[in-house]
Chain A
Amino acid sequence: MSKRLFVKGNEAVAMGAIAAGCRYYFGYPITPQSDIPEYMSRELPRLGGVFIQAESEIASINMLLGASASGARGMTSSSSPGISLKQEGLSYMAGSELPGLIVNICRSGPGLGGIDASQGDYFQSVKGGGHGGYHLIVLAPHSVQEMYDLTILGFDLSDRYRVPAMLLGDSVIGQMKEALVPHPYVAPELPAKDWAVTGKGGRSDQKIVKSLFLGDGELEAHNWRLHDKYRLLKENEVRYEGVELDDAELTVTAFGSAARIAKTAIAMARREGLKVGLLRPITLFPFPEKAFAAATARCKRVLCIELNAGQMVEDVRLSVTRDADVYFYGRPPGAGSLPTPEELLEQIRKHYKD
């Protein structure tokens, strides 16, 4: 039997990354994710890896760009304001079709905001964030175990599609401790990184990693190629969890920490005899559009719960069947603004039959 550990979510991310063979970490300290660089600074040198505490978030994402262009498996991590600084580099990595894992352990904003759990970065994460029109693969863990598992998945998906992946957690999921069973990494078959710069080494062709396309029609073709990959992601890589959806008359949806609270509220509602289920997106991009369409083909009511004033709800509205009613309940973040299960139960009761 595998060892059962009691660790923080942030530590689980670092452990997952190392298990997946990530040996290059570049970052800059920011609360509430600093456990990740701290762990990496301790472990990577022992494994022959590289840890660099960069001078800024901007430098760290560009170090990742360079390491990734060199064919290495690398990552960076930060929290909301730091992720904003990384957006330029993210756009370049997306444009240059470079893999890599970017971890965002969100805090509350806008601006300096606070360090409380927030889902205020949903738009920034799934709608591009940086300039030019691109997507990241966005994974939303809701447990310490998933922090580990989805970190590994993020690296593999990112390498497979040459699309940067983002692990979107928050300060609750990053800072809380719970059980983790670290499983050994089984490397899937992935395409060779024959596009990486290595020095020509006798090759006749040169490798060029770039995002500048000035020739007639070149950039449009490049963009269509990127969007074709996003279409493939939508077809092949959607992940979500469904809980008691079969007989549900109200579908609750939430991701990450909000889904944890929602699960408790749903259990309470079930005890009251209310037929309520949960559809929890695990991939925020690609979004589980078909799952929402299927769920609402039968049950016409959806309650979307978020730790913000309403962001994912827009994607929910685009995904449900035409005549479904979508309700929203959210709390913009800040000290004392995390909703309680009782608070969510009240919302479930309110929307159950109306």
Chain B
Amino acid sequence: MEKVFGHPVSLKNVQTHFCPGCQHGTIHRLVAEAIDHFGVQQRTIGVASVGCSVFLYGYFDIDVVEAPHGRAPAVATGVKRVHQDRIVFTYQGDGDLAAIGTSEIIHAANRGEKMTVIFVNNTTYGMTGGQMAPTTLPGQKTVTSPYGRDVGIDGYPIRMAELLSVLEGTAYVARVAVNSPKNLLQAGKVIRRAFEYQVENRGFSFVEVLSACPTNWGMNPLKANERVESEMIPYFHLGTFKDIAG
């Protein structure tokens, strides 16, 4: 009998430390499935960022370098320039990539570094305890925006996928969500395509994944998924913003 579903080879068979309803585990799996799909586990190097995603090496069975806060695209640049035939990806949260690391992501993308960036956007600083992120939605209450994000004071949530898509250096830029079976299946395809870009040495690929943080949002997992649909997707539109292959 043909085996049609199993545990990804690139993912260790361990329990995650993530909170109930957190979607890092799901996104990890999608990334691992993409690595397995192209059979590149043995030549993939991950770059871990700070925050909830730092424990990348605990879940992925690949070589991993840990980067300082926001600097993963610069670290990955160093790795990829040395190991040009390896698959190099970063896995970063929104505080990491869209606040302290804005400079590094924009310039790595603009240089067209042949790497893949998985950007997990949950509109808050998760591990730090639910503070306002650059992606926090207008009116959203967090522990540092207790009256709700006021765009007159705090500015607007940054749409990173749209921002990066206008740079000449990017090859593939898309935004997906993992809050429903339909979106999850689409996210899997998009993440695979992002890795395909690197496997084919075509350029910089970027996938923003809308993700739930039930703990810091103060919601149960189901409500959190509903929030992704009703509040996040209307602001952070899903879709492919750039695909040089058309």
| A residues lining the B interface (CB < 8 Å) | 24, 26, 50, 52, 54-56, 58-60, 62-72, 74, 88-89, 92, 96, 197-202, 206-212
B176 part of interface (Cβ distance < 8 Å): no
Contact status B83-A199, CB under 8 Å: yes
Pick the residue among B63, B65, B82, B107 that contacts A200 (CB under 8 A): B63
Contact present for A199 and B62 (CB under 8 Å): yes
Any A CB within 8 A of the CB of B22: no
Given A66-B76, A210-B57, residue A59 in contact with residue B68 (CB < 8 A) = no
* Nearest opposing residue in chain B for A88, CB measure: B68
What's the tally of chain B residues with a CB closer than 8 Å to chain A? 35
If A54-B74, A56-B103, A199-B44 touch, whether A207 touches B81 (CB-CB below 8 Å) is no
B64: interface (CB < 8 Å):
yes
Known: A26-B78, A71-B82. 10 other contacts (CB 8 A): A63-B77, A66-B75, A66-B79, A70-B83, A92-B68, A96-B66, A199-B44, A200-B42, A200-B63, A210-B48
Q: Hey, which chain B residues are within 8 Å of A59, CB to CB?
A: 71, 74, 77, 103-104, 107
Task: Report yes or no: A207 in contact with B63, Cβ–Cβ below 8 A.
Answer: yes
Decide if A67 touches B81 in the complex (CB within 8 Å): yes
- Chain B residues in 8 Å Cβ range of A58: 71, 74, 103-104
CB-defined contacts of A71 to chain B, threshold 8 Å: 82
Asked whether, in the complex, the Cβ of A55 is within 8 Å of the Cβ of B68, the reply is no
Q: Are A66 and B86 closer than 8 Å at their CB atoms? A: no
> A212 is contacted by which of B63, B66, B107 (Cβ under 8 Å)?
B66
User: CA A199 – CA B64 in complex, angstroms?
Assistant: 9
CA distance A88 to B71 in the complex (A): 10
Chain B residues, Cβ within 8 Å of A207: 63-64
**Chain B residues whose CB sits within 8 angstroms of the CB of A60 once the complex forms:** 74
Provide a sorted-by-A list of 22 A–B residue pairs whose CB atoms are within 8 angstroms.
A24-B78, A58-B71, A62-B67, A62-B78, A63-B75, A66-B67, A66-B74, A66-B75, A68-B78, A69-B78, A70-B79, A70-B82, A89-B71, A197-B63, A197-B64, A199-B43, A199-B45, A199-B83, A200-B43, A200-B63, A207-B63, A207-B64
A62 — which chain B residues lie within 8 A by C-beta?
A: 67-68, 71, 74-75, 78, 104
* Beta-carbon contact of A198 and B67 below 8 Å: no
Bound-state CA distance A208–B46 (Å) is 10
- Bound complex: CA A209 to CA B114 (Å): 21
Q: Which residues of A are found within 8 Å of B66, using beta-carbon distances?
A: 92, 96, 208-212
Expressed in whole angstroms, the Cα–Cα distance for A26 and B82 within the complex equals 12
- Residues in A with CB closer than 8 Å to B42 are 199-202
- CB of B86 within 8 A of CB of A69, answer no
Q: Which residues of A contact B80 (CB under 8 A)?
A: 66
The answer for the CA separation of A74 and B42 in the assembled complex, in Å, is 25
Smallest distance from the beta carbon of A230 to chain B beta carbons, Å? 22
| Bound Cα distance A52, B75 (Å) | 13
Nearest CB on A from B130, distance (A): 20
